[in-house]
A and B are shown apart, each in its own frame.
Chain A
Amino acid sequence: MTTDEQLASSDVEALRRLRWSCRRGMLELDLLLEAFLKHGFVKLDARGRETFERLLDYPDTTLLQLLMGQMQSSDRDVAHVVEFIRQTARHPS
């Protein structure tokens, strides 16, 4: 089941806002974030979702380095969500 299908209607609006925040200047980020929003986001708890939103405020180049494994975050919550996004990219379903 995808994120769209699992969320309550009240959350759908927030999800659409997040989806637009996942539109970035780099194809690599578009693909990673879009796949995660579709297949992984719903599996995050409230804290994870808040962390994901925080992650979307990072500049594109920083976000890319984190998601490509070129940089590690010292923030454990961020590091956890980053790893989850990377796993989702490899195994989307």
Chain B
Amino acid sequence: MSPVWASVFGVGAATIVLKATGPVLLGRRELPSWLAGPVSLLAPAVLAAFVVTQALGGHREIVADARLVGLGAGAIAVALRAPILAVVVVAAAATALTRLLT
């Protein structure tokens, strides 16, 4: 098999398994109590990790660039209780503008 198709099948199979693990093994019932506690905190922990990696992540380096301007503008929009769509548009526009000007 060519490296391309080996990658497609390998990555596809692995991703299907990773996504299905929780719903297939633990679906249809409440989470066991020892798991439910930490899982209730998973959303803030993972979302914070998303923000950090999306705004500062590079290939094994922390990169501070125009994304931070956009995130800052987005943060102001969040603080002003703007709707999500506005937050996203403001962040994209501020970043695009910064990239255009620098």
- Are these two chains actual partners, yes or no? no
